[in-house]
Chain A
Amino acid sequence: MDPRHDPHESPETRRPETHRGPEPLRHPDTDRPESPETGSGGWVAPGSTSGTLDSSGPGTPSSGSYAPFEGESHRWPTTPAPPGAPTFAEPAGLAAPTEPGEETPRSWWGEDPTGQGSPFGTETAHRLSPRTLVVGPIIQIRGLLLPIAAGLVVGGFNPWILTATLLAVLGLLVRGFVTWKTFRYEIGEERLEIRSGLIRRSRRTIPLERVRGVDVTSSLLHRLLGVAVVRIEAASGAGETEDGKLDAVDAAEAERLRTVLLHRKAVLSGRREEATTVGEDGVASLTTASAGTDASGAVTASDEAAVTYFRMPRSWYLFGALSVGHLVTPFVLLATLFGMVQQSAGQVATDFLVDWVTSTDRGFLVVFAAVSTGVLVLLMPVFAVVSYALTHWGFTLRGRDGSLVAERGLFTRRSVTLERRRIRGYELRDNPLERTRRAVRLRAIVTGLGDTANRAVLLPLGPRPKVEAVVDRALDLFRGRLTRHPRAALYRRFTRAVLPFVVVAAVALYLDLIWLTVASGALALLGVPLAVDRYRSLGHGYDGERVSVRSGSLQRGQATVERSAVIGWTWTQTLFQRRSGLADLQVTVGAGAGGYTAQDASLEESVDFAGRITPEMVRPFLSEDQDPHQDTT
């Protein structure tokens, strides 16, 4: 076994028992002064290498990360805390503040031996990958790199700036080290527990049954070093979510965590081999993915249970040109560039620019501006496709025992796992631009999932028939037809989209404000097609198993949820709606946005609709005097 592994883990679990004394239980809180360099921590057995940067070589961590399975053998050597345990408090310059901390941890960790000794026997505590020590500071420094470089260049390698820079870098390194040292996570039979913090300890327990999804993200740097960031999302209470973030663990460990967290039963029943093989596959998929072009090798090598629903065809990258967010990339790039120049060499650059503008010929300037704008506009789609391809490269959607796994990205590879039993339905969204190419995007409606804009994405933007085919295989496609909403809904759309501008135009005309009249008149005219389109997109339907509701124009969305996911109905009716017998019907769902509204449906028809879907919920109230149906008749 890995020599590192044992010393690192065992004392951790053992700690509570060994440290009953006045001794602090966490090394960082020891106020025994020691040199920082020996800082391998109080619980690290004497034999272990000191956990400084050198030990972060790529060799050691991977073996350490496989510890969970070895960990099941309850290796709890009764190593007493190494005498004279070195401390981290010193290097971090935190010796003084740790003193109060010394009091708390005792009681804190004191409850461990009884509380966790037994349930947490399945696996012992794990650390993050030592390679975090490399990745973390680099990522943090990356943000500072430019200002630092600029400062150095502009400041003429001023010793003050040099020292400050060095200190900052050192601080980052130390912080990364301390984080790594203090961070522990372990998966018990029922819970995942994450402990971290030097001064401010935090200990987060996430019941495994509450785990809703596991995200694995790895940037290029992470992938080079073979690590990944794992984010575990759990629901807590009514709809709120909380995250457990492991930044970063080995790629293989990440894969294993994903498997273990989502299928703890398999783990508990001792199917270790399988879990391990899956883990190895994870490595394979990550490495092949890093090759960039084709992840298929990993897919075929993957276990039998995996089904690939979708792999991005090349032509789909072109849809990036339809995505507004990606269309503006040239401008964003330009702005960033500008900001960078400004930041690094502000005065010089401005002077130069002013000089240049004043000294060059006017006509040339105009032509130059026009041409560069034109080029930018022409480049927009190109940039859009490129940046879209970067983020969506090799998009795959796979089904693996009870979960859907969506993976994407060229440099930063992101993989999101959604448990199937948490998926209540799906949502198809498009905007007018996308509708011209009949393209839609697909999102899952998942219980207790935060950041749905990123995490619930099941497919990239693609042609509707293909997307529907994937939905049909991966989930269940809504096959019913949508009922149109009454004509009165159209009039209401018109009132909303056109009337305000007409009123403004009339007032402006009265006040003799010509430009305002023209502007609002134009807007009113534009409102006409908008209103018609918004009306046409309205609809709701039920196909015997799924309820579907559609609305919107500039951002049209059709949400489809299973019948069993409907946990209530709400009708709302304004005074105006009452006159025309309309009502908004909201389908309450314990997932996604929480509710999806069929706007301006006919009240009677919508009551009937709800009654067909959940008769047990609606029927009892239909014949009584308070029922909405009767109210309007």
Chain B
Amino acid sequence: MAFGALFNLALLSAAAWALGDFAWGWVPTWVHENAWVLPSVYVAYALLKIAIVPSWRYRVHRWEVDEDVIYTRSGWISRAWQLVPVNRLQTVDHTQGWLERIFDVATLQVRTASYAGSSTIEGLDAEEARRLSEELAVRAGTLRDDAT
């Protein structure tokens, strides 16, 4: 998220710099004068977001694997609860990005036959994620019915 924020900031700053530097005729003067307002506001917003959102998300995110159902809760301002029955699972993806590897966490994604029915559990402990993915795969195999 921090990287995304940095990227956006760079983009905005570039725009502001361009606006301030090249005095394009079609841009009204008040925009020239206040070109840097937007980036600074964004910095404040991004800082706030970086400070608050992860912990907030951490408090909201929950997952639970019952015998037959995977239940996840995610989001921060908007929330989503998702129930995915294990016997309808088609794939269990266990991924780890480079940043995730540094922090030794992993993402688990379970997919069903539906275009809309995939469910992600982010920030799992890597070891746990591996165990869980194997367990789910095995259980999906034994419970599996027509999967659609």
Nearest residue (CB) in B for A565 is B148
- Chain A, range 594-624, C-beta contacts under 8 Å to B: 594-595, 610, 614, 616-618, 620-621, 624
Distance (whole angstroms) from the CB of A213 to the closest CB of chain B = 14
Number of contacting residues on B, CB 8 A?
Answer: 31
Interface string of B68-102 (1 = CB under 8 A from A): 11010101011111111100101100000000000
Q: For residue B147, which residue of chain A has the nearest CB?
A: A590
Partner of A590 from B71, B73, B77, B112 at Cβ < 8 Å: B112
CB <8 Å contact, A239 and B114: yes
A573 within 8 A of B: yes
A568, B117: Cβ atoms closer than 8 Å: yes
Task: Select from chain A the residue with minimum beta-carbon distance to B73.
Answer: A626
Q: Report which of A570, A616, A628 forms a contact with B68, defined as CB distance below 8 A.
A: A616
The answer to whether A570 and B82 touch across the interface, beta carbons within 8 angstroms, is yes
| Interfacial chain B residues near A593, Cβ < 8 Å | 115-116
- When the two chains form their complex, are residues B117 and A594 in contact, meaning their CB atoms are under 8 A apart? yes
Please report which residues of chain A, range 546-579, place their CB below 8 angstroms from some CB of chain B when the two chains form the complex: 565, 567-575, 577-578
Please give me the residue from chain A that is nearest to B67 by CB atom: A620
* CB-based contact B80/A572 at 8 Å: yes
The main secondary structure of chain A at its interface with chain B is: mixed
What is the bound-complex CA distance between A574 and B77, given in angstroms? 6
CB neighbours of A616 from chain B (8 A):
68-69, 85
Q: Given A621-B64, A621-B71, A626-B64, decide whether A590 and B113 contact each other with a Cβ distance below 8 A.
A: yes
Residues of chain A within 8 A (CB-CB) of B81 are 569-572, 628
CB contact list, B42-84 vs A, under 8 A: 62, 64, 66-69, 71, 73, 75, 77-84
A447 at the interface (CB under 8 A from B): yes
Is A591 in the interface zone, CB < 8 Å from B? yes
Give the residue name and chain of the A residue nearest to B78 (CB): A574
| A238 CB–B CB distance under 8 Å | yes
Chain A proximity of B98: nearest CB distance (Å) = 26
Partner of A570, one of B78, B83, B91, B147: B83
Tell me which residues across on chain A come within 8 A of B130, comparing CB atoms.
none
* Among candidates A239, A591, A621, residue contacting B69 with C-beta atoms closer than 8 Å: A621
In the assembled complex, A489 has its CB within 8 A of some CB on chain B = no
B:116-135 near A, CB below 8 Å: 116-117, 119
Asked if A56 is an interface residue, CB under 8 A from chain B, the answer is: no
B116's contact among A422, A575, A586, by CB below 8 Å, is which?
Answer: A586
**Nearest B residue to A239 by beta-carbon distance?**
B115
The reply to whether A620 and B66 form a contact with Cβ atoms under 8 Å apart is: yes
Chain B hits for A624, CB < 8 A: 64
Q: Is the CB of A447 within 8 A of B148?
A: yes
The smallest C-beta distance from B15 to any residue of chain A, in angstroms, reads 24
A573 CB contacts on chain B under 8 angstroms:
78-80
- The interface centre, meaning the residue of A238, A239, A568 with most chain B CB atoms within 10 A of its CB, is A568
Whether B66 contacts A567 by the Cβ 8 Å rule is no
Which chain B residues lie closer than 8 Å to A594 at the CB level?
Answer: 114-117
Q: Is the Cβ of B117 less than 8 Å from the Cβ of A595?
A: yes
Known: A590-B117, A590-B147, A591-B148. 6 other contacts (CB 8 A): A574-B78, A588-B112, A589-B114, A593-B115, A593-B116, A631-B79
Residue pairs across A and B with Cβ atoms less than 8 A apart, 12 shown, are A238-B113, A239-B113, A568-B88, A568-B114, A570-B116, A572-B78, A588-B84, A588-B112, A590-B147, A591-B113, A595-B115, A626-B73
In the A-B complex, the 6 residue pairs with the smallest Cβ-Cβ separation, listed nearest first, are A590-B113, A594-B115, A595-B116, A590-B148, A594-B116, A588-B117
